[in-house]
Structure 1
């Protein structure tokens, strides 16, 4: 796993379960201890029902309490893509960096980002751009290496998918650096 290509993915959604509608995808590609690329996609809510997505009121209420900056990213006023187009864009971006057999995909929680993405790919009839056995959970890794949580101040807007993914990528690099050697993760 040391020399693998890692993808840290953060979703902003309108729900908490596997069928949650995705409103933004942030992804960061990490290789050899460094960030090598980023991707950010806003996803339209207009077609959520067409793909069996299920919002929940508590998440919508939670969004109403977030910062203006965070809400602007998901309020529908910015250019966004339909769910299938967004997922194809994510797949194409990942394929530019690794094959599905090589890609290691990190979500922050074992039952959230990767699970929602998998469900969304299935609903759209699209192939998953990574193999199921390459799902990883950043929250568990950080429980094993809690010192990796401290990577400095958060940069950007909290609950902005790309800014969250960027912070989580720094934590991944730090945790893998602690695991493998101090020199591996020194590029944070």
Structure 2
């Protein structure tokens, strides 16, 4: 078995559970004003999304956090102004009066994220938190935790970068699901961005696992089970172990009879 056992991972306080973060902000620095945040949790071994959380964040508690000058052409706030046309749903999510009424204060949001990460990290393990890049999502959230004096729900060694995972996919496998996977929801929406990031994280790690297993000549359980089933079937019917032609003929006959039976049942049902 190539993958470490869950018992081994727990012995080093780790697990295949990863929390993918995404924030939408008013600047790109660590002290950026945070408009919204999302965390999507995945299990790399089970190849599935476990849970998710999302919140809009108000100005309350962010008096010292930065929004860029909208009049600067390359600023983050100028970028958001363009989204009125390019991604109107994402723009309205952050800036419409109706949506802003649903916002949490920064303190409330950080406490909610901390609670979520704690509840969705396996007991006895340390949280692994993955931002899109090493300098953005995690760094901004970390700065906010430090600024507010709220305990950060992950250790600094638990900071991980999705961009590195993408690089490995391109270099080692020649795949880039960040761009090839179908995306759901508008661009620049923290929840939909995090969900898409979680999906291509799962796709890349699943492909890496498959490549590693194949490279180590580990038994393909599905193929092995098929061979066992084939051997048992041939033996029960009195055929030799490697009687491929006979097996093919038999399966063809079974499939023909199955379809005929199904067709007959369907006709009987329609004639009632």
Above 0.5 in TM-score?
A: yes
Whole-Å Cα distance in 2 between the matches of residues 101 and 84 of structure 1?
A: 25
Query: What is the alpha-carbon distance in structure 1 between the residues aligned to residue 108 and residue 77 of structure 2?
Result: 24
| Aligned partner of residue 145 in structure 1, secondary structure | helix
Find the counterpart in structure 1 of residue 76 from structure 2.
59
Q: 133-142 or 145-154, which moves further after superposition?
A: 145-154
Residue 109 of structure 2 is aligned to residue 86 of structure 1: yes
Q: Matched residues in 2 for 1:155 and 1:178: separation?
A: 21
The alignment covers a number of residue pairs equal to: 182
Query: Does residue 161 of the first structure (1) align with residue 193 of the second (2)?
Result: no
Task: Show the counterpart of 2:47.
Answer: 33
What secondary structure sits across from 1:54 in the alignment?
coil
Query: What's the offset of the Cα at 1:144?
Result: 1.2
For residue 133 of structure 1, report the CA deviation from its aligned partner: 0.3
Deviations 1:19-75 (CA, angstroms, capped at 9, x unpaired): 0011100110101321011111000024321xx211212111100101220111111
Q: Deviations over 1:156-185 (max 9, x none)?
A: 011000000000001111121122227x9x
> Following the alignment from structure 1 to structure 2, what is the Cα–Cα distance between the partners of residues 28 and 158?
16
| 2:202 paired with 1:173 | yes
> Displacement, 1:124?
0.8
- Structure 2: 5+ residue stretches without partners: 1-8, 70-74, 214-272
Q: TM-score, normalised by structure 2?
A: 0.63
Among candidates 95, 118, 135, match of residue 95 of structure 1: 118
Separation of aligned partners in 1, 2:124 and 2:103: 26
Unaligned segments of structure 1, at least 5 residues? none
Aligned partners of 1:101, 1:177: CA distance in 2, in Å? 22
Whether 1:126 aligns to 2:150 is: yes
Across the aligned residues of Structure 1 and Structure 2, the Cα RMSD in angstroms comes to 2.1
Q: State the secondary structure of the residue aligned to 2:95.
A: coil
1:102-152 residue CA offsets vs partner (Å, 9 max, x unmatched): 211110111000000000000110111011101111012101103143552
Q: Which has the higher strand share?
A: 1
Native 8 Å contact 1:101 1:131 kept in 2 = no
The alignment partner of 1:90 has SS state of: helix
Between the aligned partners of 2:142 and 2:109, the Cα distance in structure 1 is 13
**2: distance between equivalents of 1:20 and 1:61?**
15
Structure 1 residue aligned with 2:24, among 12, 16, 25?
12
Q: Which has the larger radius of gyration?
A: 2
Q: Higher relative CO (CA 8 A, sep ≥ 6), structure 1 or 2?
A: 1
Q: Which residue of 1 aligns with 2:61?
A: 47
